[in-house]
Amino acid sequence: MRLLTFIAPLLGGRKMTKLQGHEEEALGDAVAWCVANGGCYADPNDPKLYGHAPFALEPFPFPRAEYDRVVALQPAFGRLVDCVARDAAWLEDTLKETAASDEFTRKLLELRRETDAKGLKQTCSLGLLRSDYMLDAPGSNAEDGSGRALQVELNTIASSFGCLSTVISGLHSYIAQKYEGASNGVLPPNKAKDGLCAGLAAAHAEFLRQFPSSDVPRRVAMVVQPGERNQMDQRMLEHGLWEGHGIDLRRVTLLDVEENGGKLIFGEGDDRWEASVVYFRAGYAPDDYASDKEWQARAVIEASNAIKCPTVAYQLAGTKKVQQALAAPGIIEKWLPSDAESLRGVFAGLYSLDVADGASVDAIVAEAIEHPSKFVCKPQREGGGNNLYGDELKESLMKFSPQERAAYVLMDRIQPPSKTATLVRGGESIVGACVCELGIYGTILTNGEGATIFENTPGHLLRQKSLGVDEGGVAAGFACLSSPALV
Ligand code: ADP
Ligand code: MG
C-alpha cells in the first residue's frame, strides 16, 4: 500500500482563525468527539480493536454553486441507473466486449441473464447510490472556490461512509463553534445516515405490503465481508433502522444463504427469519467470491422474492464501462431526454477501449501513452486501488493486447485545486497540501416498470487526500473523512 506523503506545511498567507495556535487542543477535542459519536474504524491488524476513523481537522472549501448543481442532479442519476438496469439489451450490448475480457463482469452479466430467464419473483429494486465528484481547476488554490465538478464515478453497490460522514459533519460543526471561525464557509446539513435508513425502511415496508403474512419475522439482511474494518458505518445503519423504524437488521455472509423456494430464510428452528431486503456491503469485488458457493448464493438471492439493494442489473449499471458508454453523445436521451444535457454537464472525457471502436481507440491509446499524466485507466472494479496512472498506465497500454485493453476504459484526469490542511490518523496530525472528492448520496426504490416508490437525496461525503496521491479510498488507506465548507 502506498503511504501518504505530505509536502512541508505552507501556512503563510492563510486566514487566521481561533484554531491557529490551538491545534493541539483542537486535535484532542476532535479525536474525543469523533470516538464519542461513533466515528470509529477498526485497526488494520485487529478488526475487533477500534480507534477513530481518519479525518480532516477542518472542512474543505467547495464552491456552493457546484455543490448545489450536483445535489440537484442526484434524483436524475437515480432514474438513469434504474432505466439502464431495466434495459437488458443495451446492457448486454454495451458490456459485450468488457465481459469477454473480464471474468467478473462476465459472471455478473450471466447472472442477470439467468435470473431474467427464470422470471423475476421481485420486480422492485433499491439503490443506495453515491455519485462522486472532483473539482477540475488545474493549479488553483481551493480557498478561491474555483473549479467545475466532474463525476469520478457513480457507485451503485456498497456505497459506504454515509454514517461516518454524518458523524464528521457533526464534528466539524462542533469544532467550528468551539474554535469560532475555524471554518471559512458554511457547513451544509448532512442527513445521510437518516436518509439511507429511510430508503431501507421504505423497501422493507414495500416487501411487507407485497407479502403481508408470514410465520417467521421479516428482517433486513446486510451481506458483509468477514473482518470488515468499516463496521461502525454499517452498525449505525443497523441502530438507525432499529431506533427510527423498529426494523431488525441482521448481518450475514454469502455463505449463510440457503435456497428455500424463492423465500430467503436464515437461521434454524425458532430462530428462523425471512429477509425482506438484502443490502449488499460485500459482493462488489472478485475477492468476495472465493468459490462457486458465493456465486450460487448470489444467484439464490437474485432469484428470491427479497428486494435487492442492489440487483445485479443495478450493479452492472454502475460499472466504469457503462459510465463511459453513457457519456457518448445522444445515449442518455434514449431514456431521459430532458435530463440528458445537465447530466452530461458533469461528465469528464471518457473513452472506449473496445476492439470494435477501432481507429478511435488506437488514437486515444497513442495519446495516453504520450501523455500518461492526462489520463486515468480504469478496470471494472470497485473499492479503490485498482486504477492505472502515470508510468504504470503507459507501460500497461503498451503491452496490453486489444482484447486485454477492452477490460478497461480511459478517462481524462481531473486536476483538483489544493489547499494546506491537517489530516488526523491514529491521533497524530499531518499537515500538507490536500485535494478533495465530494460524494452525494441518493436513494431510489422503484417498482421495475419505471415508477419510483421512494427517493431522497439526504446528504454527502467529502474525502480529503494529500496532493499527489493518485487513489482516493478511505478504506484502502488513501484518504481521510471530511466535510464541505461551501464558499
Ligand atoms: P473505485 O471504484 O475504485 O472507487 P474510482 O473511479 O472512484 O474507483 O477511482 C478511485 C480514485 O481514483 C478516486 O477516488 C479518485 O481519487 C481517483 N480518480 C478516479 N478517477 C479520476 C480522474 N478521472 N481524475 C483524477 N482522479 C481520479
Ligand atoms: Mg470511488
Cβ of 348 below 6 Å from ligand 1? yes
pLDDT of residue 2: 29
Cβ of 343 below 6 Å from ligand 1? no
Tens of pLDDT, residues 440-450 = 999 999 999 99
- Ion ligand 2 nearby residues (CB, 5 A): 153
The mean pLDDT of 459-475, rounded to a whole number, is 88
pLDDT of residue 468: 85
| Ligand nearest to the backbone CA of 437 | 1
| Cell 422470471 sits on residue | 119
Model pTM score: 0.95
pLDDT of residue 293: 96
Distance, in Å, from the CA atom of 381 to the CA atom of 476, rounded to the nearest integer, reads 13
Cβ of 472 below 6 Å from ligand 1? yes
- Other CB atoms within a 10 A radius of the CB of residue 164 amount to 26
Cβ of 382 below 6 Å from ligand 1? yes
Strands 350-352 and 408-412: antiparallel
pLDDT band at 23 (very low <50, low <70, confident <90, very high): confident
Catalytic residue (one of 206, 382, 437, 455): 382
Active site residue 455: no
pLDDT band at 182 (very low <50, low <70, confident <90, very high): low
The mean pLDDT of 355-384, rounded to a whole number, is 96
Backbone φ, ψ for residue 222 (5° rounding): -105, 115
Distance, in Å, from the CA atom of 320 to the CA atom of 35, rounded to the nearest integer, reads 35
pLDDT of residue 44: 84
Lowest mean pLDDT among 12-16, 207-211, 250-254, 354-358: 12-16
Active site residue 131: no
Q: Which three cell numbers stand for residue 455?
A: 427517493
Q: Which three cell numbers stand for residue 433?
A: 497540501
- Decide which of 378 and 384 is more confident: 378
Active site residue 130: yes
For atom 15 of ligand 1, the residue with the nearest CA is 472
Kindly write down the DSSP assignment for every residue of 113-146, as one continuous string: HHHHHH--S---EEEEEEEEEEEE-TT-BGGG--
Catalytic residue (one of 51, 345, 349, 383): 383
pLDDT of residue 14: 42
What stretches of 53-187 show up as alpha helix (H) in DSSP? 64-86, 88-101, 103-118, 162-178
Active site residue 413: no
Cβ of 350 below 6 Å from ligand 1? no
Distance, in Å, from the CA atom of 459 to the CA atom of 303, rounded to the nearest integer, reads 32
Contact between 183 and 143 (Cβ < 8 Å): no
Q: How far is the CA of 20 from the centre of ligand 1 (A)?
A: 32
Output DSSP code: residue 36: H
Atom of ligand 1 nearest to the CA of 378: 6
Active site residue 79: no
Tens of pLDDT, residues 202-258 = 999 999 999 999 999 999 999 999 889 999 999 999 999 999 999 999 999 999 998
Contact between 66 and 139 (Cβ < 8 Å): no
Kindly write down the DSSP assignment for every residue of 345-401, as one continuous string: TTBPPEEE--GGGHHHHHHHHHHHHH-GGGEEEEES--SSS--B-HHHHHHHHHH--
Output DSSP code: residue 54: P
| Ligand nearest to the backbone CA of 157 | 1
The mean pLDDT of 336-353, rounded to a whole number, is 98
Q: Which three cell numbers stand for residue 250?
A: 441482521
Peptide bond preceding 310: is omega within 30 degrees of 0, i.e. cis?
yes
Residue closest to 297 by CA, chosen among 260, 341, 265, 256? 256
Q: How far is the CA of 355 from the centre of ligand 2 (A)?
A: 26
Active site residue 378: yes
Across all residues in the chain, what is the average pLDDT? 93
The mean pLDDT of 449-453, rounded to a whole number, is 97
Atom of ligand 1 nearest to the CA of 463: 14
Cβ of 437 below 6 Å from ligand 1? yes
Q: Which three cell numbers stand for residue 459?
A: 446528504
Catalytic residue (one of 320, 321, 394, 465): 320
Active site residue 367: no
Distance, in Å, from the CA atom of 202 to the CA atom of 126, rounded to the nearest integer, reads 9
Distance, in Å, from the CA atom of 295 to the CA atom of 299, rounded to the nearest integer, reads 6
The mean pLDDT of 94-120, rounded to a whole number, is 97
- Other CB atoms within a 10 A radius of the CB of residue 34 amount to 25
Contact between 430 and 54 (Cβ < 8 Å): no
Contact between 190 and 166 (Cβ < 8 Å): yes
Active site residue 320: yes
| Ligand nearest to the backbone CA of 411 | 1
Active site residue 268: no
Name the 3-class secondary structure at 457: strand
pLDDT of residue 259: 80
Distance, in Å, from the CA atom of 368 to the CA atom of 390, rounded to the nearest integer, reads 9
| Residue of 4, 129, 151, 387 to test ligand 1 pocket, by largest number of atoms within 8 Å of CB | 387
pLDDT band at 8 (very low <50, low <70, confident <90, very high): very low
Output DSSP code: residue 256: G
Q: How far is the CA of 56 from the centre of ligand 2 (A)?
A: 19
Residue closest to 124 by CA, chosen among 453, 448, 449, 443? 448
